Amino acid sequence: MISFKNPYACLVICFFLVFTGKDCLFAQNKTPFFQQSDTLNKKRRTSVYITEAALGAATLIGLNEAWYAQYERSGFHSLNDNAQWMQMDKFGHAFSAYYIGKMGMDALAWAGETKKNQLIYGATLGFVFLTAIEVLDGFSEEWGFSTGDVMANAFGTGLLIGQELLWNEQRIQMKFSFQHTSYADNNPDKLGSTRLQQVLKDYNGQTYWFSVNLWSFSKESKIPKWLNVAVGYGANGLPEGSYDYATLPAQPIESYRQFFASIDVDLTKINTNSAFLKTVFNVFNFIKIPAPGIEYRSNGEFKFHFLTF
């Protein structure tokens, strides 16, 4: 599917949802800017809703006119792409839905909205937004509506809402990491020609993590509150059937799945009295902190990494 659905592009939108609209409309608010309102602040809530609606509409219109205009339009149709990219794109969908929803929920919490409304109107933002893009895919001859993508969107949103209903907090968070690979240099059209494009498009360098906060499951223990254990999933040799043209004659590239285990840090559990730092930690907590880890590959190999990204 289109690279816009990948995590960093969606997180840019989230960043503007949380900060840009608030900064424009509430410079004179009595509550410190980065401090969450204890009670419902209707002006803040209105700014969040207006900003979400405006950015969401502008993004969808821009995609429709700029991206989809490059391809032939068609009647609504679906496709089954579940076997492609070793499901890395599905992890990207789940991750994006999780974090767009989380930051939509956080924006409403900043406005002092009730938890119920945070879950209804904030946490579902990722699913609604990404599914709208999926509908646009359905009317494009080049793409198609993917039920697998929608199910991945639902998983990410469900992981977010389910934990809030069960624990009133996020004990298991989805995270992301990336490292540059040589595959993009051999296939820049599909995997990106610039570093930013590669972050968005090169699945070979992406890893998606489920990071578990240990202290949250044993709050009477002496486990550091910030300490997490993370398991990750990645893939190598994508797209499948690729060749390494740096060798003569060109050799086929081995494709395999990657499973990781590592330690991590929950930045939101780091003690600080600064509302600004709390906001910064919350925004960047989607990044898996580099740390020692082990990797198992589907070809049977094990590897230890001094730093796992």
Q: What are 218-269's pLDDT values in tens digits?
A: 999 999 999 999 999 999 999 887 777 667 777 788 899 999 999 999 999 9
The answer to whether residue 6 scores a pLDDT higher than 50 is no
pLDDT at residue 15, rounded to an integer = 46
> Residue 186's pLDDT band (boundaries 50, 70, 90)?
confident
pLDDT at residue 30, rounded to an integer = 62
Segment 209-222 mean pLDDT: 97
pLDDT at residue 12, rounded to an integer = 45
| Three-class secondary structure assignment of the chain | CCHHHCHHHHHHHHHHHHHHHHHHHCCCCCCCCCCCCCCCCHHHHHHHHHHHHHHHHHHHHHHHHHHHHHCCECCCCEECCCCHHHHHHHHHHHHHHHHHHHHHHHHHHHCCCCHHHHHHHHCCHHHHHHHHHHHHHHCECCCCEEHHHHHHHHHHHHHHHHHHHHHCCCCEEEEEEECCCCHHHHCHHHHCCCHHHHHHHCHHHEEEEEEEECHHHCCCCCCCCCEEEEEEEEEECCCCCCEECCCCCCEECCCEEEEEEEEEECHHHCCCCCHHHHHHHHHHHHECCCEEEEEEECCCCEEEEEEEC
Segment 41-70 mean pLDDT: 87
Q: Domain residue spans in the chain?
A: 1-170, 172-309
